[in-house]
């Protein structure tokens, strides 16, 4: 993971980055964008706010900077403002501390200069001695100014003495005069000399005032400069002391790393890993990150690995304990192959066949009270609540499933991995990446009609294409199949169970996701976590993901256990946090994954594990010694203006774009969804009701035929009566409201039976049910024929659902 470079001590330097700021005991630490510029530290909620809204600013000239622990530090200006900040790692914290100290020194210097009368250093050509020359010129200029003021004072003093003596003589002569005609001339002379004396006195007073002000300002400035130089010297001494300690530590680490057994001197292994050469072990040790211990009930803690593990071979002949997380030679030096060179063979750059759209019409500002609709639906299935399009987004659930492929590059990289453990890291990161688009997406996708499809053909752009189909209406289920030229296949069948609890809405995806790789024949499967929509009654809607995912490799027995931490008002941990451990079939841990499901994921190689202290619940936590964490996935930034376009990602903006040659059942052809995208919401609501009624009629006819086929001749007469009774109960059955309720099953979520009031003989068009022997699950699998039908332009077999 590339870190921002430390700031250099140059005038006008700016340092930016993300930090976690303590807000209060309700919200804990919140992620904020900080900008350090011109001695001021400002923060914003996001980078987009920099142009218009600043949440707070602190002047570093009068601030105190204190380090609390490996990642936390405090900035305070005497009690009026105090920022409790937290960096993502110790390295990042140290870089911020260095930048803040430099900025503080500059701010003190700039404040001292601002107290000056305004004299500036004359411009000089840049050179290595410009700072000293500028200071000398500045002092000379100040001395010349003071000298001129002293000369002005001497001149004024001479004039005061001269005019004062003349005035004194005139007054003396005036006293001895007798009453005569000469008195008027003498009075006039005295008045003139008094005026000259007053003018000279005022000039003397002004000159004295200027001299005093100038002397005081420069005295104060030089005093501050002296204190600044003293503080700078103290900081430099402390920095030198710290550097000496680090140098001593690196020397010891280097000596320990160079004393290696004979198995470490194999030049083939050394060249393969690219870590041979003087000083590499110490350099890598210097980049180690210290991870915060997770709050209880965390199962493990990660700490930096000992430097001796940074130069290693594929064998355990060096005397490491059996707890060491090193596996066979097929995975040695894999952190380099995972992060440094993920694309070792240079692939040909594919040109897109078309320019896809980057905008959709802005969302209209229609207000509708959600509580007025849902207050009578507490405890019911979400799919039983008929919802207007005002709460939707102009995409169907099939298109939302296709959005899982936004970060398909993770599976492309996984297909190239030689080790199944490496491959597991990428597959686990892919499972997390599918939630990154949900953080701001509070709109409900359209429930697909039975038989509705959606194709995503990116074969020429990205090397894959996928197909989704709504394969069942009781219960509503969607099947998805994606095939890539890079050697992987993704398939999933998802059924949603949801409950409205008044304050929040819980959505529990049922079914499994499977990923198969052609080259290694590895077969992975996992399930999704629970999605919760908060503030249904009052406040701004926000979404959280919580639960646990087990990604299982059914061929090798490898497993990755991912934990999505639910948001807590009282937690001081990072919001939306995800942690995971990759283990082999024997339960030995090899990798640690950490990050957030809305931003990025990192992984680090485990070198050694041991049992640590007990947590608050009495569970003994495992301590993993890991190498430096490397970034494996990062969220793509949202397009400009996404807040006005339902917070769609760049991929989501293209999903409903009209395309020629797609099936007549494709979601792009759905009229109510198209009307909503165009901003015609009233027409969309009317069209939605028509489609729901049409679906009811087709379903009743299909159920009637199924009942007739299953009935004996004696029972045939009662079929019509039973069907009419079922139609009465179907009056409220809409596209959003299937008349089914999931019940508990002892076989787990993948075997949830459904209570159905109507038999249904519907067969999916492009998918068939399949019992997977590897995972033991039953799901719909693509049976073929769609892409061939598209090439021929033959869609006669498709039903007219729109």
Write out the H or E segment, with its range, that includes residue 91: helix 90-114
Q: How many other CB atoms sit within 10 Å of the CB of residue 210?
A: 15
pLDDT in the model for residue 522: 95
pTM of the model: 0.57
CA distance 162 to 156: 10
Give me Rg for the CA atoms of the chain.
Answer: 38
Cβ 347 vs Cβ 321: under 8 Å: no
Half-sphere exposure of 680 (CA within 13 A, CB side): 11
The answer, yes or no, to whether residue 59 has pLDDT greater than 90, is: no
pLDDT in the model for residue 735: 47
Cβ 767 vs Cβ 452: under 8 Å: no
What domains sit in the chain, N to C, each tagged with a CATH number?
14-112 (2.30.29.30), 395-543+650-690 (no CATH)
Residue scoring higher pLDDT (187 or 4)? 187
Residue-wise pLDDT for 778-797, tens only, equals: 899 999 999 999 999 999 99
Residue-wise pLDDT for 631-657, tens only, equals: 999 999 999 999 999 999 999 999 999
Residue scoring higher pLDDT (291 or 664)? 664
pLDDT in the model for residue 652: 94
Closest CA to 514 of 269, 751, 725, 773: 773
Residue scoring higher pLDDT (575 or 107)? 575
End-to-end CA distance of the chain: 49
Residue-wise pLDDT for 189-231, tens only, equals: 777 777 777 787 877 787 787 777 777 777 777 777 787 888 8
Tell how strand 523-526 and strand 300-304 pair up.
unpaired
What are the beta bridge partners of residue 302? Answer: 624
Helix axes 409-416, 420-433, angle to 10 degrees: 170
Q: How many other CB atoms sit within 10 Å of the CB of residue 22?
A: 17
Cβ 588 vs Cβ 560: under 8 Å: no
Scanning 336-403, the segments in alpha helix (DSSP H) are 370-374, 397-402
pLDDT in the model for residue 622: 84
- The percent of residues above 70 in pLDDT, for the chain, comes to 71
The answer, yes or no, to whether residue 445 has pLDDT greater than 80, is: yes
Cβ 278 vs Cβ 250: under 8 Å: no
State the sign of the Cα–Cα–Cα–Cα dihedral 123, 129, 131, 132: negative
Region class of 137: left (phi > 0), else alpha (psi between -120 and 50), else beta: alpha
The answer, yes or no, to whether residue 484 has pLDDT greater than 90, is: yes
Banded pLDDT at 573 (limits 50, 70, 90): confident
Query: Concatenated DSSP letters for 701-719?
Result: HHHHHHHHHHS-TTTGGGH
Q: How many other CB atoms sit within 10 Å of the CB of residue 284?
A: 20
Closest CA to 545 of 559, 531, 525: 531
Closest CA to 560 of 596, 527, 520: 527
Tell how strand 589-596 and strand 600-614 pair up.
antiparallel
Query: Concatenated DSSP letters for 420-479?
Result: HHHHHHHHHHHHHHTTGGGSS--SEEEPPPTT-EEEEEETTTTSEEEEEEEEEETTEEEE
Residue-wise pLDDT for 503-532, tens only, equals: 788 888 988 999 999 999 999 999 999 999
The answer, yes or no, to whether residue 594 has pLDDT greater than 50, is: yes
Residue with tokens 């030689």, as numbered in its chain: 418
Half-sphere exposure of 385 (CA within 13 A, CB side): 24
3-state secondary structure of 741: strand
pLDDT in the model for residue 180: 55
What are the beta bridge partners of residue 477? Answer: 472, 495
- The percent of residues above 90 in pLDDT, for the chain, comes to 33
- Tokens matching residue 442: 């509070």
pLDDT in the model for residue 402: 94
Peptide bond preceding 297 in cis form (omega within 30 of 0): yes
pLDDT in the model for residue 133: 54
Q: Which of 33-47, 184-198, 457-471 has the highest mean pLDDT?
A: 457-471
Banded pLDDT at 288 (limits 50, 70, 90): very low
Closest CA to 419 of 333, 486, 347, 292: 333
- Tokens matching residue 257: 């790393």
Peptide bond preceding 475 in cis form (omega within 30 of 0): yes
Contact residues for 307 (Cβ-Cβ < 8 A; gap 6+): 253, 256, 257, 281, 282, 284, 285
What mean pLDDT is reported for the chain? 76
Cβ 448 vs Cβ 668: under 8 Å: no
CA distance 789 to 533: 40
Residue-wise pLDDT for 131-175, tens only, equals: 455 566 767 777 777 777 777 777 777 777 777 777 777 777 776
Burial class (CB in 10 A: 0-12, 13-18, 19+), 113: middle
CA distance 800 to 398: 18
Q: Across residues 671-695, what is the average pLDDT?
A: 91
State the sign of the Cα–Cα–Cα–Cα dihedral 378, 379, 381, 382: positive
pLDDT in the model for residue 211: 77
pLDDT in the model for residue 775: 83
Helix axes 183-258, 90-114, angle to 10 degrees: 160
Residue-wise pLDDT for 595-604, tens only, equals: 999 999 999 9
């Amino acid at each position: 993971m590339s870190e921002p470079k430390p700031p250099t001590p140059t005038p006008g330097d700016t340092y930016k980055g993300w930090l976690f700021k303590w807000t209060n005991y309700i919200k804990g630490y919140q992620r904020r964008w900080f900008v350090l510029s011109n001695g001021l530290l400002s923060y914003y909620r996001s980078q987009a706010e920099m142009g218009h809204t600043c949440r707070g600013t602190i002047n570093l000239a009068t601030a105190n900077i204190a380090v609390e622990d490996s990642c936390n530090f405090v900035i305070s200006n005497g009690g009026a403002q105090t920022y409790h900040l937290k960096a993502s790692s110790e390295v990042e914290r140290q870089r911020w501390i260095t930048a803040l100290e430099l900025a503080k020194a500059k701010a003190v210097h700039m404040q001292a200069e601002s107290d000056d009368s305004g004299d500036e250093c004359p411009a000089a050509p840049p050179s290595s001695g410009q700072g000293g020359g500028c200071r000398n010129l500045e002092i000379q200029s100040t001395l010349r100014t003071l000298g001129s003021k002293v000369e002005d004072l001497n001149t004024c003093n001479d004039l005061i003495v001269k005019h004062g003596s003349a005035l004194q003589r005139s007054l003396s002569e005036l006293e001895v005069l007798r009453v005569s005609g000469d008195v008027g001339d003498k009075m006039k002379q005295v008045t003139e000399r008094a005026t000259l004396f007053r003018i000279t006195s005022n000039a003397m007073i002004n000159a004295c005032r200027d001299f005093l002000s100038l002397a005081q300002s420069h005295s104060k400035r030089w005093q501050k400069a002296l204190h600044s130089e003293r503080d700078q010297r103290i900081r430099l001494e402390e920095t030198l002391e710290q550097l000496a300690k680090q140098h001593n530590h690196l020397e010891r680490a280097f000596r320990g790393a160079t004393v290696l057994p004979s198995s470490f001197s194999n030049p083939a292994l050394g060249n393969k890993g690219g870590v041979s050469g003087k000083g590499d072990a110490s350099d890598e040790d210097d980049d180690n990150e210290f991870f915060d211990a997770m709050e209880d009930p965390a199962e493990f803690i990660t700490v930096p690995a000992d430097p001796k593990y940074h130069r290693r071979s594929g064998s355990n002949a060096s005397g490491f304990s059996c707890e060491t997380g090193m596996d066979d030679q097929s995975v040695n030096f894999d952190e380099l192959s995972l992060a440094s060179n993920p694309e070792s063979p240079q692939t040909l750059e594919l040109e897109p066949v078309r320019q896809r759209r980057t905008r959709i019409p802005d969302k209209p500002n229609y207000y509708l009270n959600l509580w007025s609709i849902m207050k009578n639906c507490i405890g019911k299935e979400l799919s039983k609540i008929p919802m207007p399009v005002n709460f939707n987004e102009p995409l169907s659930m099939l298109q939302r499933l296709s959005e899982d492929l936004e970060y398909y590059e993770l599976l492309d990289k996984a297909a190239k991995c030689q080790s199944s453990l490496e491959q597991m890291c990428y597959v686990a990161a892919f499972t997390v990446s599918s939630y990154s688009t949900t953080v701001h997406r509070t709109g409900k996708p359209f429930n697909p009609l039975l038989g509705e499809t959606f194709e995503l053909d990116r074969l020429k752009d990205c090397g894959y294409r996928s197909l989704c189909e709504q394969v069942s209406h009781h219960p509503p289920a969607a099947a998805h199949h994606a095939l890539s030229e890079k050697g992987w296949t993704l398939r999933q069948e998802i059924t949603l169970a949801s409950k409205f609890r008044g304050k929040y809405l819980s959505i529990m995806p049922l079914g499994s996701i499977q990923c198969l790789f052609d080259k290694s024949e590895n077969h992975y499967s996992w399930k999704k976590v629970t999605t919760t929509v908060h503030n249904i009654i009052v406040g701004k809607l926000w979404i959280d993901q919580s639960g646990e995912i087990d990604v299982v490799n059914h061929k090798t027995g490898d497993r990755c256990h991912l934990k999505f931490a639910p948001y807590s008002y009282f937690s001081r941990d990072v919001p939306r946090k995800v942690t995971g451990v990759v283990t082999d079939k024997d339960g030995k841990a090899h990798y640690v994954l950490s990050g957030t499901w809305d931003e990025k994921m990192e992984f680090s190689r485990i070198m050694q594990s041991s049992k640590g202290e007990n947590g608050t619940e009495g569970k003994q936590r495992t301590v993993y010694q890991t190498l430096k964490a490397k970034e494996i996935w990062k969220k793509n930034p949202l397009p400009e203006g996404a807040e006005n376009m339902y917070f769609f990602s760049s991929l989501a903006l293209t999903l409903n774009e009209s395309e020629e040659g797609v099936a007549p059942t494709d979601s792009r052809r759905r009229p109510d969804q198209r009307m909503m995208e165009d901003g015609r919401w009233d027409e969309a609501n009317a069209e939605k009701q028509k489609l729901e009624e049409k679906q009811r009629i087709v379903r009743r006819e299909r159920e009637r035929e199924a009942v007739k086929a299953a009935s004996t001749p004696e029972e045939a007469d009662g079929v019509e009566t039973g069907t009419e009774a079922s139609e009465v109960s179907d009056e409220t059955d809409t596209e959003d409201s299937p008349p089914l309720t999931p019940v508990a099953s002892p076989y787990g979520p993948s075997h949830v039976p459904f209570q159905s009031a109507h038999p249904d003989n519907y067969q999916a068009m492009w998918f068939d049910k399949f019992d997977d022997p590897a995972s033991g699950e039953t799901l719909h699998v693509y049976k073929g024929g769609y892409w061939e039908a598209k090439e021929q332009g033959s869609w006669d077999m498709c039903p007219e659902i729109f």
